[in-house]
């Protein structure tokens, strides 16, 4: 797998499950797979990389049920199913309000943001920041 070069390496739910199960490679390279969907970098804050989407649908529920924006949909059937924004618009042209709920719940880097806030490095920085704040206020 190509985890080393991924933004959420060492901070990925899918990677954790694969490691727990001893899976180091995927077996479904032919005849059909989901690779090849171009990254959507049209949004000012959000990023979409559907190459790494596992079609779990969590982002759709987060956008609908937490944010109430109904931007994301699972469209198509079978191998053609994939996440789309509004009526297949680019993320940047969609009605997304940049709340980040979809990125927060996405178990891979399929939806993230320009700040790479799902990366292990940012998580560590946040932990340090919380420690500093706790030291200051106590
Ligand atoms: S960031 Fe946009 S697409 Fe994601 S949950 Fe919020 S409104 Fe929906
Ligand atoms: S939450 Fe992430 S992996 Fe799951 S369907 Fe949405 S984009 Fe794909």
Instruction: Please tell me the predicted confidence (pLDDT) of residue 39.
Output: 94
Quote the pTM value.
0.88
Q: Per-residue pLDDT tens for 94-112?
A: 999 999 999 999 999 999 9
- Report the 3 state secondary structure along the chain: CCHHHCCCCCCCHHHHHHHHHCCCCCCCCCCCCCCCCCCECCCCCEEECHHHCCCCCHHHHHHHHHHCCCCEEEECCHHHCEEEECCCECCCCCCCCCCCHHHHHCCCCCEEECCCCCCHHHHHHHHHHHHHHHHHHC
Domain 3-137 has CATH 3.20.19.10: no
pLDDT band, very low/low/confident/very high, at 129 (cuts 50, 70, 90) = confident
From 44, 47, 69, 103, mutation site for ligand 1 pocket: most ligand atoms within 8 A of C-beta:
69
* Domain ranges across the chain: 3-137
Instruction: Please tell me the predicted confidence (pLDDT) of residue 25.
Output: 82
Rounded mean pLDDT, 68-97: 94
Q: Of 106-110, 115-119, 126-130, give the lowest mean pLDDT range.
A: 126-130
Kindly report the protein residue whose alpha carbon is nearest to atom 4 of ligand 1.
102
Report the pocket of ligand 1 as residue ranges, CB < 6 Å: 46, 62-63, 67, 69, 71-72, 96-102
Atom of ligand 2 nearest to the CA of 54: 3
Burial of 45 (0-12, 13-18, 19+ CB in 10 A): middle
What is the C-alpha to C-alpha distance for residues 134 and 46, in angstroms, rounded to an integer? 30
Whether 64 contacts 132, CB under 8 Å: no
Rounded mean pLDDT, 104-126: 91
Q: Per-residue pLDDT tens for 10-65?
A: 999 999 999 999 998 877 777 666 778 899 999 999 999 999 999 999 999 999 99
């Amino acid at each position: 797998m190509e985890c080393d070069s991924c933004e959420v390496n060492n901070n990925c739910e899918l990677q954790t499950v694969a490691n727990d199960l001893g899976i180091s490679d995927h077996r479904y390279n032919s005849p059909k797979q989901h690779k090849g969907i171009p990254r959507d970098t049209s949004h000012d804050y959000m990023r979409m990389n559907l190459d790494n989407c596992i079609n779990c649908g969590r982002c759709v529920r987060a956008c609908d049920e937490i944010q109430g924006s109904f931007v994301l949909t699972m469209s198509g059937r079978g191998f053609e199913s994939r996440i789309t924004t509004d009526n297949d618009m680019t993320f940047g042209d969609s009605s997304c309000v940049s709340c980040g709920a979809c990125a927060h719940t996405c178990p891979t880097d399929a939806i993230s943001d320009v700040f790479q806030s799902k990366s292990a490095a940012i998580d560590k920085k946040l932990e340090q920041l919380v420690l500093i704040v706790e030291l200051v206020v106590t």
